[in-house]
Chains A and B, each alone.
Chain A
Amino acid sequence: MKTKMGYAFSMAVIGAALLTSGLVQAADTYKMDTKGSHAFIQFKIQHLGFSWLLGRFNTFEGQFVLDDANVEKSSVKVDIDVASVDSNHAERDKHLRGKDFFDVATFPKAGFVSTKIEKTGENSAKITGDFTLKGVTKPITLDATYIGGGKDPWGGYRQGFEATTQLKLKDFGIDYNLGPASEVVDIYISVEGIKQ
């Protein structure tokens, strides 16, 4: 719930922005810096319950709209090229791309579109949204943390976040038996956005 004070503060910020710039610039759009690879989507899953297997998606695009004054009005969208899955093992990756797992021939894209953002602390928020994988779309919630932002040394402006969540493989139609310790996958996302 937003407080009256918070609302008044938001209005004051917007008012100040109007006065100083003469424009209403409530939110800025940031493109995830996948080109410079300052954006990562990693996963980890237990192997037999003995260790963690780590991997990542090498190819994706994303952008977020950041409304500093009113974080709830921010949004984020990511499109993932599932075939870019990389666990540093050619035959395992080939297996992951195949029908037992992602079936990238039929479902080449995965993606996330936020539907609701709730501020949970000074630098943290819960980002709820629709996640699509292997043709299944389900709501998931990311625990996001603001890392930092500001002018970069090359004339741009950047903001960076990290986020975590957990997914049940079965929820997305992946039921290949990897054992009881390996039914849930941890997702770790770290992204830096460049203001457009």
Chain B
Amino acid sequence: MLANSESGYGLVSVLLHWLSALLTILLFGVGLYMVGLSYYDPLYHELPEWHKSVGVVLALLSLFRVVWRVLSGPPAPLAEKRWQGAAARLVHATMLALLILLPVTGYFIVTAEGKPLMVFELTLLPALLELTPNQTDLVGRWHLWGAWALIGLAALHAAAALKHHFIDADRTLIRMLTIKGQ
């Protein structure tokens, strides 16, 4: 039920996948929108706080995803062609890497001058190291480019899933929507 089986995904993997997808899209949209807000917008302070807090939640979720992948490996691959399997694995690995790297860069933007990162006005993540202004701006650009890369790969990933579902008529998409764990 919880863990993945040879033929399908368990509840944990399915929940992690769709929750990650939802939070990634929300964080991307809010992130792009919030940096364009005027100073007098009521959400000028609120959205960045939300982005940081939810970003930390997604970071923890992604770390757990890595652990879960080790504990409960994915079901047997569906791909018929070898290049399809390799492409899928490359895209999945890159997306997971970005899901870890994006919050790390975000953390360094917030803590660049030694102040802690506040999560839901409760917990403080202390600053580990101070960055120079140039380093901070560089990390900021990585955060933006990384976000676009993640969304681009996610779009490719979704397009591939839809292609498998509607054109190849195989179980790729169904498999992530049904729980067949052990």
Contact = CB atoms under 8 A, between A and B. Distances in A.
Interface of A: 83-86, 88-91, 93-94, 97, 104-105, 176-179
Nearest to B141: A105
A183 to B, nearest CB: 13
B39 interface: yes
Contact of A178 (B39, B111, B137, B140): B39
Given A88-B113, A89-B113, A89-B115, A94 B39 contact: no
Nearest to B130: A90
Nearest to A105: B137
Contact of B110 (A91, A105, A177): A91
B74 interface: no
Contact of B140 (A83, A94, A176): A94
A179 B115 contact: no
A90 B115 contact: yes
Contact of B133 (A83, A91, A179): A83
B109 A94 contact: yes
Given A93-B112, A178-B39, 8 more contacts: A83-B134, A86-B113, A89-B113, A90-B111, A93-B133, A94-B136, A105-B137, A177-B40
B48 interface: yes
Nearest to B114: A90
A90 B136 CA distance: 9
Interface in B101-120: 109-113, 115
Nearest to B131: A90
A87 B113 CA distance: 10
Closest 9 CB pairs of A and B: A90-B113, A90-B112, A83-B133, A178-B39, A94-B136, A177-B38, A97-B133, A97-B137, A177-B39
Given A177-B38, A177-B40, A91 B109 contact: yes
Contacts of B48: 91
Contacts of B133: 83-85, 93-94, 97, 104
Given A88-B113, A89-B113, A89-B115, A94 B137 contact: yes
Nearest to B139: A94
A86 B131 CA distance: 13
Given A84-B133, A91-B48, A94-B137, A179 B39 contact: yes
B109 to A, nearest CB: 7
Contacts of B111: 90
